[in-house]
Amino acid sequence: MKIKKNTLYFIGILILLITGGFFFLKGGSVSGNVVSESAQVAPGEMQRVILSQNGFNYRDAIVESGKPILLSADNSVGGCLRSVVFNLEGRRYSKYLRTTEDTLELPALSKGIYSFSCSMGMGYGRLIVQ
């Protein structure tokens, strides 16, 4: 059975359009608002960050440097994105955030941008430390 060359071109273009649409419309954006109560945190205390989902990724989380972080996820986060994984300074921090009350504690970090993902490596986010 032979497939015509035009049919193969059509199938290839269709796959490219679907894949491109997925990344440009849904998967590429990780910016947005995350609730951070860092302005209300006394020096040396934990600052609370609530992750939320934007498409297939996490929204950016913004925290202050030098303060430990208590991380949780709101109800918009679903599927494998509930299982958060950070690799910070040679150490792995991970937890399945089943409910909004489940938390992951992170140490105080210096200024910078720290990438994190879900346990399957399918959804990504950024922890921006200012």
Domain locations in the chain as residue ranges = 1-29, 35-129
User: Residue 59 has what DSSP assignment?
Assistant: P
> Is-above-0.75 flag for pTM?
no
Query: How far apart, in whole angstroms, are the C-alpha atoms of residue 3 and residue 17?
Result: 21
Helix, coil or strand: residue 118: strand
Instruction: Outline where 87-127 has alpha helix (H).
Output: none
Least trusted range by pLDDT, from 17-21, 30-34, 89-93, 119-123? 30-34
Per-residue pLDDT tens over the stretch 66-114:
999 999 999 999 999 999 999 998 999 999 999 989 999 999 999 999 9
Record: fold of 35-129: Immunoglobulin-like (2.60.40)
